[in-house]
Chains A and B, each alone.
Chain A
Amino acid sequence: MYAYDEIDRTLVNERVSEFRDQVKRRLSGELTEDEFKILRLQNGVYLQLHAYMFRVAIPYGTLASNQLRALAHVARKYDRGYGHFTTRQNIQFNWIKLAELPDALADLAEVGIHAMQTSGNNMRNVTSDQWAGVAPGEIEDPRIWSELIRQHTTLHPEFSFLPRKFKIAITASDHDRAAIKIHDIGLKLIKNEKGETGFEVLVGGGLGRTPFIGKTIKHFVHGRDILSYIEAILRVYNQYGRRDNIYKARIKILVHELGIEKFSREVEEEWQQIRNSSLQIDDEVVEDIRSRFTYPAYEKLPHMPDELRQAAADPDFEAWRKNSVAPHKVQGYSIVTISLKPIGAPPGDATAEQMDALADLADKYSFGEIRVGHEQNLALPHVAKRDLPALWKALDKLGLATPNVNLITDIIACPGLDYCSLANARSIPIAQELTRRFANHELANLIGRLHINISGCINACGHHHVGHIGILGVEKNGEEVYQITIGGRADESAALGNLIGPGVKFDEVADVVEDIVEAYLALRERPEELFMDTVKRLGVEPFKERVYATR
């Protein structure tokens, strides 16, 4: 966990007071909506279909148990008893009242939570690997650098009025769980030949209306130079980014139009002017941030405790363990992913009761720490293997032990037309129907790793472009129509999916996905060949034939 200092606490509290005054002036009519909109957006407040939506930041996906309880409290006191975890390590409350928002923010501020950098055309919440600091083989904890960038960018005037929103993600593992290639800037922690810590820097990734996979702009930037290098990128973007057309304003468009070579030359030129400035990071600064991250006092535990050996006889436990439990860097411990994708439920939702109970379980089994991943699941990062059977039973009672992590029912979906003012079509009911179709765990296991992503409009909050199966809802002649892509992925081999054919109606989507899956099962060469491997080997055609032969 990261411990905020007095400066952080003062900043967050002052922000609450400031927003309280702004809300008061808005409700009295002193501020018009045009004047107020940018202020509310800078505090995570959107207007959706039925109400205001309040988006709260969970920087680099790390939450303490008391913070999760505070989120539960907000859900219960100010909303309708639940929250929705998003694809960028935030949580959203869908029914909040503007008049009560300052109180909700004040309650969150007591535990160091805020809504800065969750909306508006600024530098957004820096995201990272939800397994940061505990993943085996990691270069080092990427949250140290995430926090450094968070401190530098929060309320930074140069980054507060950008052409469009700007997102950074950081990973320190070979397997990318932070989806860095679909971010405006993606950072991968690496070591150079001298053993020095630095970053491979990617730029220009993003989804939405015009999707691009990020390109490497520099293969190694030393850690001490990362702020100046990011700033150089931002300066070039600020200077040349399109402000005249919202659809062409993201940095991905600029990188595409200039070309990565020209863009990188512009950045290099800018960087050389500011590289040796006060932006160069002293080792002491990094060490100070590092010292504020506390790590558990791990016990020396056996690799295979008796409790785990005995529980292995229970097939239900084994089904859960196989998909939910991952290796930890410390022997005797595990990382446990908690599925927020129960069969038939909206992906990513958690009730206040579940959040409170999970906070208790985190205290009991995970040194009081919870993580939030971009797949809309949670994780307990430090669970002793001996505790896994007891934890599983406790999670099961809460409805949080669905054994479907990374399987076909572990669906990423945006709120869609049920909540979102931008959406053209519903996402959640499609996800719900798909989870019911593939509810049989043996079938889901037989299919193996397969990610479905659903977006209710071209803004792609459900990351449909990078779903193994991507589903995009659009409107056609007043009806919801869904375009299906296959072959996308968001990891270190990130790729955009390919459209398989004409869009299908709401009621046909689950049938089409079943057809695609049946085709895969028939076409794969062996059980170990994953869906993505089959698509890579055969392309779109056989799936297209299967889906459209009878439609």
Chain B
Amino acid sequence: MTSPLEQKKIKIAGPSVVTANRTWDGIVVYRTAAKSWSADLSEAAIVRNSDEAKALLAESVADDVGAIGPYIAPVQVGADGKVEPGNLREQIRRTGVTIGQPVQV
């Protein structure tokens, strides 16, 4: 759960995606292979080595209007191809807080 703010080197140990927050409303988004952003993790472009990750991140950073704060986050890809967040932080970003909120939405 190391904060991506501390992410100094791009070094990935497995499948990863680029994630950010959409500029106008802040929701969590993922960079897609179509060079766009999607709120659906299953649509994210998966990278598997540092060079791919660097390229995807660079392209994401260049889209400064669409989303802010892009960084590389680990994912797990199941045998069926289903993509899941690779750590608790990303799980929380995807599915929301782990606690009941005072007002249910």
- The interface residues of chain B lying within 8 Å CB-to-CB of A33 are 23, 64, 68-69
What separation, in Å, do the CA atoms of A417 and B88 have in the docked complex?
A: 9
The interface residues of chain A lying within 8 Å CB-to-CB of B79 are none
Contact A98 B102 (CB under 8 A): no
What are the residues of chain A within 8 A of B98 when measuring CB–CB? Answer: 418, 426, 429
> Which residues of A pack against B, CB within 8 Å?
26-29, 32-33, 47-52, 80-82, 96-99, 345-346, 349-352, 417-419, 421-426, 428-429, 432, 457, 475, 478, 480
B:71-97 near A, CB below 8 Å: 87-89, 92-93, 96-97
B residues bordering A, Cβ < 8 Å? 1-5, 21, 23-28, 64-65, 68-69, 87-89, 92-93, 96-99, 101-103, 105
Minimum CB–CB distance from A45 to chain B (whole Å) comes to: 9
Nearest CB of A to B5, in Å: 7
Cross-chain contact of B3 among A32, A349, A424 (Cβ < 8 A): A424
Q: Which residues of A contact B68 (CB under 8 A)?
A: 33, 47
CB distance from B11 to the nearest CB of A (A): 15
Closest CB in chain B relative to A506 CB, distance in Å: 10
Question: Could you pull out 14 A-B pairs where Cβ atoms are within 8 angstroms?
Answer: A27-B65, A33-B23, A49-B28, A52-B25, A81-B105, A82-B103, A97-B24, A97-B26, A99-B25, A346-B102, A351-B102, A417-B88, A424-B2, A480-B1
Q: Quick check: B99 and A422 within 8 Å, CB to CB?
A: no
Find the B residue at minimum CB distance from A418: B97
| Bound CA span A51–B27, Å | 5
Cα–Cα, bound, A424→B89 (Å): 8
CB atoms of B24 and A50 under 8 A apart: no
Q: Nearest chain-B residue to A100 (Cβ)?
A: B25
Interchain Cβ contacts within 8 Å, total number:
95
Chain A residues, Cβ within 8 Å of B3: 421-424, 457
> If the complex has contacts A81-B103, A417-B88, A417-B89, are A98 and B1 also in contact, measured as CB distance less than 8 A?
no
Please judge, given known A-B contacts A422-B3, A475-B1, whether A51 and B105 are in contact too, CB under 8 Å. no
Nearest CB of A to B92, in Å:
6
Task: Take A47-B21, A51-B21, A480-B88 as given contacts and tell me if A349 and B2 are in contact as well, using a CB distance cutoff of 8 Å.
Answer: no
Which 3 residue pairs are nearest across A and B when measured between Cβ atoms? A81-B103, A51-B26, A97-B25
Closest chain-A Cβ to B46's Cβ sits at a distance in Å of 20
Q: Which chain A residues lie closer than 8 Å to B27 at the CB level? A: 50-51
Q: How far is the CB of B58 from chain A (nearest CB, A)?
A: 15
List, in ascending order, chain A residues with CB within 8 A of B5's CB.
421-422
Q: How far is the CA of A475 from the CA of B21 in the complex (A)?
A: 23
Q: CB distance B103 to A351 under 8 Å?
A: yes
How far is A260 from B65 in the complex, measured between Cα atoms in Å? 47
Question: What is the bound-complex CA distance between A188 and B1, given in angstroms?
Answer: 40
- Given A80-B101, A417-B88, A478-B1, 8 other A-B residues pairs in contact with their CB atoms under 8 A: A27-B65, A29-B65, A47-B69, A50-B93, A81-B105, A96-B26, A423-B3, A428-B97
What CA separation (Å) do A50 and B23 show in the bound complex?
12
The distance from the CB of A163 to the nearest CB of chain B, in whole angstroms, is 18
CB distance from A73 to the nearest CB of B (A): 14
Are B24 and A27 in contact, with the CB atoms below 8 A? yes
> Which residue of chain B lies nearest to A23 when distances are taken between CB atoms in the complex?
B24
CB neighbours (8 Å) of B93 from chain A are: 49-50
The answer to whether residues A32 and B1 also contact, given A27-B23, A80-B101, A426-B98 and a CB cut-off of 8 A, is no
Residues of chain A within 8 A (CB-CB) of B103 are: 80-82, 351-352
Min Cβ gap B61→A in Å is: 10
CB of A425 within 8 A of CB of B102, answer no
Task: Contact check, B102 vs A82: say whether CB atoms are below 8 A apart.
Answer: yes
Report whether A345 and B102 are in contact in the complex, using a CB–CB cutoff of 8 Å: yes
A28: chain B residues at CB < 8 Å are 65
Among B25, B65, B89, B96, the residue within 8 A (CB) of A98 is B25
In the complex the two chains form, what is the Cα distance from A424 to B6 in whole Å?
A: 11
B99 touches A417 (CB 8 A): no
What's the Cα separation between A234 and B12 when bound, in Å? 43
Q: Could you say which residues of chain B place their CB within 8 Å of the CB of A26?
A: 23
Q: Which of A48, A50, A423, A428 has the largest count of B CB atoms less than 10 A from its CB?
A: A50
Instruction: Select one of A426, A429, A475 contacting B2, CB under 8 A.
Output: A475
Tell me which of A82, A99, A428, A475 contacts B24 (CB under 8 A).
A99
**B99 near A346: Cβ-Cβ < 8 Å:** yes
| Contact across chains for B26 and A50 when beta carbons are under 8 A apart | yes
CA distance A458 to B98 in the complex (A): 21
Docked pose: A52 CA to B1 CA in angstroms: 20
Among A350, A418, A419, max chain B CB count under 10 A is at A418
